[in-house]
Chains A and B, each alone.
Chain A
Amino acid sequence: MIIMPMNDMPKSGMPSGALTMLILRVLQSGSLHGYAIAQRIHVLSSEVLGVEEGLLYPTLQKMLVKGWVTAEWGISETNRKVRFYRLTPDGRKHLKAELNEYDRVTQAIQDILRTA
């Protein structure tokens, strides 16, 4: 038997902090199930950003524990019982804070790029 080292860590270049922010953002307009979240991010980024499943579900779990999202059972478009993730007031607050911070940092970076 040959035992291979297992390494299925996602190779996405996206830091998990950014993923949290994106998930919160796409959930702002209504509750979605996991696959839809990934799809929405993929589509909205004009197919530039892909969300690895190996990162998506751990991140969602972390957000559940933090209390930023809740999950409830619903019916999918394929008529299957599936869990929908919904933003909580806490999550909304956190998204706002994240966006402000993000704006501040991008602004700063752009200032440097423009003047340096």
Chain B
Amino acid sequence: MNELFRRIRYLLNRRRIDAELESDMEFHREMAARAGRSNFGNTLRMREQSREAWGWTWLDRLIQDLNFTGRTLVRWPGFTVTAVLVLAIGIGVNVAAFSLFNMVALEPLPVRDPGSLVRLERRSPQDYTSEMPYSSAEFYGQHAKSLEAMIGVLGVPPMQMNDDVQGTSASFATANYFSELGTPAAAGRLFEPSRESESTAPPVVVLSYTLWQHRFNGDPGVVGRTVRLNRKPATVIGVTAYEFASLGGQTPDVWIPIAQQPYFVTGSTVLTNPEANAVRMWGRLASGVTAKMAAEELKSLTNELRRRHPKDIWDDEFIDIHPGGHLQVMQPEMYQVAALVAVLTLLILAVACANLGGLLLARAVSREREIGIRMVIGATRARIFRQLATESVVLAMLGATAGLALSSLGVRVALTQFHAPGWLSARPDWRVMLFTFGVAIAAAVFFGLMPALQIARQKQHKTIVRQVLIAAQVAGSCLLLIVAGLLVRATLHVLYTDPGYACEQLLSVDAQLGHHNYSPEQARAYLDAMRERIGALPGVKSVSLVKLPPLGHAISRMDEEINGHQVPVYPNWVTPEFFRTMGIPIRLGRTFYAGEKSAVIVSESMARREWPGQNPVGQLLPNGDAKDTVVGVSGDAHANAANDDDAVEQYWPAQQADMPDMALMVRTAGKPDSLPPMIKGISESLDVKLFPEISQMKVLYQDKVLDLIENIAKAITLTGLVAVVVAAVGVIGLVSFSVSQRMKETAIRLALGAGKVQLLRALLMQFVWPVAIGMVVGTGCALAGSRVLRKVLFGVSNLDFYGYAGALGVLSAILMLAAVLPARRALRLDLARTLHNE
């Protein structure tokens, strides 16, 4: 420790100590001269060696290197600007992607003690649901000592506020919701456990900041006013703050205490029914309790629940605990998407690095003289290498700073574009900073290492390294462009083909009868009456029932084992006229008979997969202990998985017991715009307590499918084009460099009468192979890797010819242009002057 202090003292007083050393040596020399000796040697060099004993030489060298780097970068401003720009793009894209991931999965919510919040979900080896019965949640909350608090949220279909035609989104939350999160109110007060826990408490609502601003013009006088929700009066007690961070990223317009749910939804038993998985549950771990300890306690509580309700708890069920204090609880599928995005953005960085590596090598040739002189006056290879490495790191840091700025800008635009919650900010936090730093260092290694080694060994004239770099750039941009091409094709496909059913003239009507405690008989009566009276409306062509309306709130998926491999199957329960109503063709066999049992209709993809070359009609499919007979084959609809071409459907005839869960599908002859108010009127006349959610399929399709794929395709195309532009800059740079290197040769050839084509060929020949190899490698990677894209390609093959051809065509054209433009300079040479100069 003392030694370190002394070293630091030496560093701080270096000038004085160096002077002392000089004086010592001066004295030594004087004395030696007196004694008749005069060969003292090089004092400067000796002083340098003595200083090495202090252990600060590296710092001196670093400062020298940094100084020199600064001068070098200023001396070639064109190169510096290009390099920083290329790096800023490469690094910025990665930082932006990471920032978004950070926001969603890493950054803790700005709530009280987010680290102890956990998300609790039911899981067993076979089953999983993100929601649980309220009675179970309550049971866990009361009995678990490892949980300090239980927070539950019940999402419901939009409710009718006052006399609005448009629904207002609403969530029922436990009374401790806001106090547990430590949320302040923008006006009035939020729920208080002491006042809103009982169902007998006076009905109240809390408004979201957005609703308050848009509907009530931010009037603070709204507090205390009465609004009607589903015709039930309730008092507004307060407004959430603009920066309010909710759990799980939910942003409903109104919040209602969960205890008052039966008041607003008449007849609902959702809070008491132990079968209704309806509530999303969060918990707060008691202090000193780990997630593992809590999991053990909850497991024993689950077993206790099984004793009470044996048929409602699955075999081997347990409560899955995830960190809950983030915007999103990451599911395995989301990590796959994140990995895919990471691969694509890292590819851009790789292209940028390869490009910059080429530029550095090219510049090294023009720095030959400088480096040569330094070598000759005693610099070692290691010293030259260190100097070049310093330059790379400085460039990378400049690029990273610019990239960080670029990414913050991008994230800011994205946040406003997607109406992100107010608490999300584009300002980079320490994780983003650290990531940026790491990426910058990695980039410096990628683009700087190979050229620096080549230069330090004085081998910058070797073309092979440049060719490898070109091939790498071309391969990377080729892969990116192909992915972009496929996604563009997918977008066009979705935009210009029908989704497997004609959605233009379709409406879905979902009254959620089960939530209003309808018995199967009551539900049947209501649905029959609705069918009859809607069917009688002018312009209605057909009406049918369906359990899971397409693009609705619930999606069900089962992984069914077919011939030994898992196939994701989307099940649905329908009435016979479903296929006609939806416009899904029956390819083989027939639709169901009324009241039919033990029958199943499969989609054509499933039939092809399970019984290739056989007649699927009449085949048997296991269904629990019984067997269902396939009575028909329908067209592929992908109604609940529009993006996944591997998804197949299976339909069962709806039975009496399914009735409370059924929704209506309505097909009209013309535009269905005028129907919703009429349908609403019919439902009201049947049961005034119901508020059916009426959706136009084409609107849902636009919102849920088209907007999504358009945004994805836009983003990917943009990244692909960025990569191509970066690669083109690299090719332009390298070709013009190679042209200037071969001025003399070109001039002589011209003088001897070579044709232009011959000349261009001679100049560009060295780039043909790398480009060709790069394209082959890139296409190969795309062919191999694009399988993972299938799920987002909306039915376009991942080997789609036009996607590949388009991408390769664009790439070739741009590269050709990038090569020929600078090469043309060679053809306009002033022969006399060039030859004279050389």
Chain A residues within 8 Å of B, Cβ to Cβ: 3, 5-6, 8, 33-35, 38, 53-54, 57-62, 64-67, 71, 76, 78, 80-83
Contact = CB atoms under 8 A, between A and B. Distances in A.
Nearest to A57: B50
9 contacts: A5-B378, A33-B24, A57-B47, A57-B49, A65-B10, A67-B2, A67-B6, A80-B30, A83-B23
A35 B280 CA distance: 85
A2 B364 CA distance: 26
A66 B40 CA distance: 26
Nearest to A59: B53
A61 B41 contact: no
Interface in B1-26: 2-3, 6-7, 10, 20-21, 23-25
Contacts of B70: none
A61 B53 contact: yes
Interface string B371-410: 0000011100000000000000000000000000000000
B52 interface: yes
Contacts of A61: 21, 50-51, 53-54
Contacts of A78: 30-31, 34
Contacts of B32: 35, 53
A6 B45 contact: yes
Contacts of A58: 46, 49-50, 52-53
A53 B46 contact: yes
Given A71-B20, A82-B24, 5 more contacts: A8-B41, A53-B40, A57-B25, A62-B53, A82-B27
Contact of A8 (B2, B10, B21, B42): B42
B670 interface: no
Contacts of A59: 53
A54 B25 CA distance: 10
Contact of A35 (B3, B28, B46, B49): B28
Chain B contact residues, majority secondary structure = helix
A35 B377 contact: no
B755 interface: no
A33 to B, nearest CB: 7
Contacts of A60: 50
B55 interface: yes
Residue in B3, B24, B34, B378 with the greatest tally of chain A CB atoms within 10 Å: B24
Contact of A65 (B7, B31, B376): B7
A3 B50 contact: no
Contact of B28 (A3, A5, A34, A81): A34
Contacts of B40: 53
B51 A3 contact: no
A33 B27 contact: yes
A65 B6 contact: yes
Contacts of B376: 3
Given A35-B28, A58-B53, A82 B23 contact: yes
B697 to A, nearest CB: 81
A67 B3 contact: yes
A53 B50 contact: no
Contact of A6 (B2, B50, B378): B378
A5 B379 CA distance: 11
Contacts of B2: 67
Contacts of A83: 20, 23-24
Nearest to B45: A8
Nearest to A36: B31
Q: Which 6 pairs, one residue from A and one from B, show the smallest C-beta to C-beta distance?
A: A61-B53, A62-B53, A35-B31, A61-B50, A58-B50, A57-B50
A34 B378 CA distance: 30
A53 B30 contact: no
Interface in B487-542: none
A33 B20 CA distance: 12
A113 to B, nearest CB: 36
Interface in B31-71: 31-32, 34, 40-42, 45-47, 49-55
Contacts of B34: 78
Contacts of A65: 3, 6-7, 10, 53-55
B827 to A, nearest CB: 42
A78 B20 CA distance: 18
A71 B78 CA distance: 53
Nearest to B21: A57
A30 B32 CA distance: 22
Nearest to B43: A53
Contacts of A82: 23-24, 27
Contacts of A5: 378
A59 B46 CA distance: 11
Nearest to A33: B27
A8 B46 CA distance: 9
A79 B138 CA distance: 95
A59 B50 CA distance: 7
Contacts of B20: 71, 83
A80 B49 contact: no
A33 B10 CA distance: 20
A66 B25 contact: no
A89 B795 CA distance: 84
Contacts of A53: 25, 28, 32, 40-41, 46
Contacts of A3: 376-377
B30 to A, nearest CB: 7
Given A57-B50, A58-B50, A66 B24 contact: no
B312 to A, nearest CB: 76
Nearest to B41: A8
Interface in B793-819: none
A58 to B, nearest CB: 5
B45 to A, nearest CB: 6
A5 B45 CA distance: 13
B13 to A, nearest CB: 12
Nearest to A90: B2
A8 B42 CA distance: 7
Contacts of A62: 53
A3 B376 CA distance: 8
A67 to B, nearest CB: 6
A53 B716 CA distance: 68
Contacts of B30: 78, 80
Nearest to B46: A54
Contacts of A80: 27, 30
Nearest to A5: B378
Contacts of A6: 42, 45, 378
B33 to A, nearest CB: 11
A58 B25 CA distance: 11
A60 B52 CA distance: 12
Contacts of B54: 61, 65
Contacts of A81: 23
B378 to A, nearest CB: 7
B278 to A, nearest CB: 73
Contacts of A8: 41-42, 45-46
A94 to B, nearest CB: 12
Residue in A53, A59, A71, A80 with the greatest tally of chain B CB atoms within 10 Å: A53
Nearest to B9: A65
A114 to B, nearest CB: 39
A54 B49 contact: yes
